[in-house]
Amino acid sequence: MILIGLTGGIACGKSTVCRLLAEEHGITVIDADLVVRELQLPGTSCMRRIEQQWPQCIRAETGELDRLALGKIIFEDPEARKVLGRIMNGPICYAIVKKILCLWWRTASDAVVILDAPTLFETGALTRFISNSLVVACAAERQVARLHTRNGFSEADARHRIAAQMPLARKRQLAGYVLENDTDDMTVLRRQVAESVVWMRSQSARRLTWMVSAVCAAVTGTAVAAVLLLCK
């Protein structure tokens, strides 16, 4: 299985690229944001820790997380961002590795799977599993314009959100492939995505195979059997 890590900047079009990969090229996508949402459901251990840290971000009537309120806090306060990372990063990594193991067990060796992870490079742990990485990027001015149109952010708020992330220039340096999404023309984007798929299929599956073998060797046979049973 060829595992490609997909990341990029805010409002660069990662979700659209992933949708095209899934719908038009039949590629399975592991969505890290969806994993986060599952871990932040009411009653989970992550939610209990978030509630202890930021009780004002929990809706009293439902016990659900107010994502806008928490997002405002972590984007404005780097220390709060670190605290949230300490709460979430371990469980996120565990849940995603489990999904990777399940897919590896039942997927053809030459199949491409996408790991859509906004903080792929920032957290670093999951880069050990990927065959290579693809970054979806665009000009900063286009990010600002899209955030204004999509989210209603002012220019100042949009630039603050962009600045809170790893610089796109650095992500470009770390990427094996960069998809520059500076147009809103879907015909152009579809062609770019199709070209990226050719590159993805040329990557090696050896790294993931080695990492899966290492993970299996690090745990007991019973534990491995239990994980594989859950994957069926």
Output the CA–CA distances (angstroms, integers) from residue 67 to 6, 41, 72, 104, 153, in the order listed: 23, 12, 8, 32, 16
Compute φ and ψ for 138, nearest 5 degrees.
Answer: -160, 175
pLDDT 10s digit of each residue in the chain, 232 long?
Answer: 999 999 999 999 999 999 999 999 999 999 999 999 999 999 999 999 999 999 999 999 999 999 999 988 998 898 999 999 999 999 999 999 999 999 998 888 889 999 999 999 998 889 999 999 999 999 999 999 999 999 999 999 899 889 989 999 999 999 999 999 998 899 999 999 999 999 999 999 988 988 888 777 776 555 555 555 544 4
Q: Whole-model pTM?
A: 0.89
CA distance 133 to 124: 12
Write out the DSSP string of 86-102. HHHHHHHHHHHHHHHHH
The helix/strand count (H/E) of the chain reads as 12, 5
For residue 52, count CB atoms less than 10 angstroms from its CB and return exposed for 0-12, middle for 13-18, buried for 19 or more. exposed
Question: What is the model's pLDDT at position 198?
Answer: 98
User: Which CATH number is correct for 2-42+100-231, 3.90.226.10, 1.10.3720.10, 3.90.550.10, 3.40.50.300?
Assistant: 3.40.50.300
Sequence spans of domains, the chain: 2-42+100-231
How many whole angstroms separate alpha carbon 198 and alpha carbon 214? Answer: 29
